[in-house]
Structure 1
Amino acid sequence: MMKKALILPTLMAVSVSTQLYAEGFIDDSSVSLTARNFYMNKNFYNNTVNQPSAVSWAQGFIFDAKSGYTPGKVQFGVDLLATLGLNINSDNTSRGVYMVPNDDTTSWGDIAVTGKAKVSQTELKVGAISIMNPVFITSPARLLPQIFRGGSINSKEFDNLELTAAYVNQVNHRDSTDWEKITLANTNWRFKQQAETDAVYFGGGYYKFSPKTKAHLFYLNVDDIYDQIEGGVENTTALTDEVNLLTDVKYYRSRDIGDANGGNVDNDMYMANFGFQRGAHKLSLGTIINSGETAFPYLYNSEVGVFLDTWPNEFWNAKEHTYSIRYDYDAKEVLPGLKFMTRYTYGNNIHTTGNQSLPGGNQDLLGGDNLHESELDFDVQYRVPEGTFKNLGLRARYAISDNNMTSSAQIKPTKETRINIDYTWKFK
């Protein structure tokens, strides 16, 4: 009789606990699996040295499970990201592909776990974190996503204000199976070396003055290499009943700090982008001006949170002035899910004689100063919006890039093709 008396309340307690646990933690969870087939071809042309194409064709799988939060004043949850890449056919992948490991590895991937806690509108994450803001981006632009390890906090406690901060100390790159230190990108030997850092910190936030006007301010510290201050404003203005003006203005200030393991960093970058949108059509005009002694610094194998997301080229050289025109078309009224983009970008006033680690100290190795580069891009993408094949996505990108640097330059004139087919199963 005593055992029966104990079993009943125990079962009731387990039942109540399970219901509470399910409320939020399970009920608000999401689980998905994306299969991505990705082909990339970098055809190096117009070069005095014969450079064979760099080709990658691979199959990837991305399993993404996110829990909700447990009930209570302090709520808890956990996320899981598992990735797997399978090399189908790849050659010369060390030449700027960053999609598959550049050794004989045929399969790679990782399992990353994130613990999270939430109090009111403030969320803390520890473990594998994904970040996207003007000074720090977790790159999604290849077969598998880039992953950083550290901790982040995000708060929306105050109306119209979002604050965020993070600390990261390791990265698992898009083409790697290993966790490693974060390093400075050193394309064309712009800095002293591809310096490693023990830690990266950033903090900042967004403030909405109105539904159409948002400002942001961020600070980034790459320990013993450089720091960066960014500020910007984004605004939408109705010019007529049918035409909107989209404005995006940013400023970045970058300087070397501490032991300056990457050498001198001295860059001010000013940028402005103006988009004119009418229905399904958008025409954008943008410019970026680099000033100071060095190129714009950024993290290796990563990206920069600006409007100009070109593919073979960077447009971050010392003293470079860049101009861009872009056209976007969203065919949602004709064929929902279909989008098209084309863009032409031209940069001049490139200085390379001040690059700090040129082999042999040869200041003319890349062609000297007052150089130029250009890129023409095409992007077509289609995602099935409904029906049996909902969540099937197809995307094709083609770029023609050129510059008048010498054949020693690491970024060479290229005709680049990217094709990917994605399908996502959403289990919850």
Structure 2
Amino acid sequence: MTIPLRLSAIGLPAFLLSSLVHASFIEEMSSSLEFKNYYIHRDYPQSSGQTERAEWAQGFLLRLDSGFTEGPIGFGVDTLGMYGLKLDSSPSRSNTGLLPREDEAAPGAPNYARRAEDDYAKFGISAKMRVAESELRYGDLEPALPTLRPNTSRLFPQTFRGFQITSNDIDDLELTAGLLSRTRQRDATHYEDLSINRKGGAYTAADSQRFRFVGGNYRVTNRTRLGYQFAQLEDIYQQHYLGVSHSLDLGEGRLGMDLRYFSSDEAGAASAGEVDNRAASSRLRYRLNGHTWSGGYQEQFGSTPFAYVNGTTVYLFSQMQFSNFTETGQRVWHARYDYDFTDIGVPGLTFTARYATGDNATVAGFDGEGREWERDLDVEYILQSGPLKGMSLRWRNAVRRANFSSDIDENRLMVGYVLPL
């Protein structure tokens, strides 16, 4: 009886510990399957090459996020599986960003006329560790940083490989730091080195495997926030970001004010050439019932365009559906109107109109003052009841005109549904 009793004495605590670890790991798990049906039709009325891009695709995104194991140090794992299916495309209409394409065009066909793949799949996994109110993640990441904004405007998000630490141990202060080494573009299945967006040739092509960042956000009051971040794409550029936001009650509505400032210079070996840019972007917004009006001014200073990682979007108020208005010396006025139809008894229906116009731009390869404008419309309805509650129907329309590039007209139709598992 001695041996079984000893085994029992050892095994019972181990069993209880395993059960606690397993219970927390599973009970805090969240999972979902997202369906995204996406159609894009884009016209280039004045282009002498490809005059149209049009594709239709179906995407499936499966997210499985575990909880953390019990104890002072908790461990977990998050996974993301993605599968895209071509519904309609042709070589002459490809390259919408929905589907990956073959490397070369068919013999005798123009280079842009490349066939889109019938389907594609990709998988991402990240390990995570939690200590008190701090969390470390390592693996495939979707960071949302002022100095690096993944592109999420197609079937699948742009992802990055590396690690990120986020700490909320200090009241009202969130600290973030990390290092990213590779990126996987929204319509790609492979990872590639990081690079600077060349802005039409203003910067020399250069790659890096080190994007470092550190910074924080501080809540001064419930209505005032300060943010700072430093980032460096090794041997290419370094960037400082400073942001301020504040809101106050005004009449029956609320007035908000935002300012974002970036300062960028070359770093290390300066592989992409000189980087000399400061960008100031401002916005005033006023919300009253279902209405929100906003607008502001933005300007680029220095001898080069705004610096950012290729494939990403920018954390400026000028980021539109096509253009981000970040050429050298460019001045921009932007305006936006949002309306939530819940205010008149139609919950789930929203409308957005945006407009931006820029001038005084120095554009690589263009002789003269660069000028452009863009107008975007967005209508979305989310079903509020029934068996398909939560399904979203969305239409986006954009028109862009510029004297240094082709005119663009585009429509996007999206149907989305997230099924919690």
- TM-score in same-fold range (> 0.5): yes
User: What is the DSSP-based 3-state SS (H/G/I as helix, E as strand, rest coil) of the residue aligned with 1:369?
Assistant: coil
Match of 2:112?
none
Is residue 280 from structure 1 mapped to residue 290 from structure 2 by the alignment?
yes
Match of 1:217?
228
For residue 173 of structure 2, the aligned residue among 142, 147, 161 is: 161
Distance 1:383 1:22, change over 3 A: farther
Distance 1:319 1:90, change over 3 A: same
Match of 2:152?
140
C-alpha displacement of 1:424: 1.0
C-alpha displacement of 1:224: 0.7
Match of 1:106?
118
Equivalent pairs, count? 407
User: What is the DSSP-based 3-state SS (H/G/I as helix, E as strand, rest coil) of the residue aligned with 2:235?
Assistant: coil
Is residue 28 from structure 1 mapped to residue 40 from structure 2 by the alignment?
no
Match of 1:184?
196
Match of 1:203?
214
C-alpha displacement of 1:91: 3.9
Match of 1:361?
none
User: What is the DSSP-based 3-state SS (H/G/I as helix, E as strand, rest coil) of the residue aligned with 1:24?
Assistant: helix
User: What is the DSSP-based 3-state SS (H/G/I as helix, E as strand, rest coil) of the residue aligned with 1:332?
Assistant: helix
* Structure-1 separation of matches of 2:221 and 2:118: 51
Is residue 268 from structure 1 mapped to residue 278 from structure 2 by the alignment?
yes
For residue 328 of structure 1, the aligned residue among 308, 332, 338 is: 338
Match of 1:77?
76
Match of 2:414?
420
163-172 or 21-30: bigger deviation: 21-30
Q: Report the residue type matching 1:419 in the other structure.
A: L
User: What is the DSSP-based 3-state SS (H/G/I as helix, E as strand, rest coil) of the residue aligned with 1:145?
Assistant: coil
Is residue 63 from structure 1 mapped to residue 73 from structure 2 by the alignment?
no
User: What is the DSSP-based 3-state SS (H/G/I as helix, E as strand, rest coil) of the residue aligned with 1:133?
Assistant: coil
1:130-189 residue CA offsets vs partner (Å, 9 max, x unmatched): 111211112221101111000000000111100001100011111101011111111321
* Structure-2 separation of matches of 1:348 and 1:142: 29
134-143 or 144-153: bigger deviation: 134-143
Match of 1:300?
310
C-alpha displacement of 1:97: 2.7
Distance 1:6 1:39, change over 3 A: farther
User: What is the DSSP-based 3-state SS (H/G/I as helix, E as strand, rest coil) of the residue aligned with 1:165?
Assistant: strand
C-alpha displacement of 1:22: 3.5
Match of 1:313?
323
Is residue 257 from structure 1 mapped to residue 270 from structure 2 by the alignment?
no
1:181-220 residue CA offsets vs partner (Å, 9 max, x unmatched): 1111113212122x11121011101000111111100111
Distance 1:153 1:94, change over 3 A: farther
Match of 2:53?
54
1:332-373 residue CA offsets vs partner (Å, 9 max, x unmatched): 232222111001110001112xx3xxxxxxxxx43x131200
Would the aligned equivalents of 2:55 and 2:93 in 1 still touch at CA under 8 Å? no
* Structure-2 separation of matches of 1:323 and 1:78: 44
C-alpha displacement of 1:385: 3.4
User: What is the DSSP-based 3-state SS (H/G/I as helix, E as strand, rest coil) of the residue aligned with 1:175?
Assistant: coil
User: What is the DSSP-based 3-state SS (H/G/I as helix, E as strand, rest coil) of the residue aligned with 1:72?
Assistant: coil
Normalised by the length of structure 2, the TM-score is 0.92
Match of 1:291?
301
In structure 1, stretches of 5+ residues that fail to align are 356-364
In structure 2, stretches of 5+ residues that fail to align are 103-114
* Structure-2 separation of matches of 1:204 and 1:169: 18
Distance 1:93 1:87, change over 3 A: farther
Is residue 38 from structure 1 mapped to residue 38 from structure 2 by the alignment?
yes
Q: Percent identity?
A: 29
Distance 1:94 1:152, change over 3 A: farther
* Structure-2 separation of matches of 1:63 and 1:132: 20
Is residue 19 from structure 1 mapped to residue 19 from structure 2 by the alignment?
yes
C-alpha displacement of 1:6: 6.8
* Structure-1 separation of matches of 2:95 and 2:196: 16
Is residue 124 from structure 1 mapped to residue 124 from structure 2 by the alignment?
no
Would the aligned equivalents of 2:55 and 2:94 in 1 still touch at CA under 8 Å? no
User: What is the DSSP-based 3-state SS (H/G/I as helix, E as strand, rest coil) of the residue aligned with 1:380?
Assistant: strand
* Structure-2 separation of matches of 1:274 and 1:335: 27
Q: Report the residue type matching 1:43 in the other structure.
A: D
1:282-320 residue CA offsets vs partner (Å, 9 max, x unmatched): 011121100110111111111112233301222111100
C-alpha displacement of 1:235: 1.0
* Structure-1 separation of matches of 2:127 and 2:394: 33
Would the aligned equivalents of 1:192 and 1:264 in 2 still touch at CA under 8 Å? no
* Structure-1 separation of matches of 2:280 and 2:368: 21
Match of 2:110?
none
Q: Report the residue type matching 2:347 in the other structure.
A: P
* Structure-2 separation of matches of 1:385 and 1:36: 18
C-alpha displacement of 1:52: 2.0
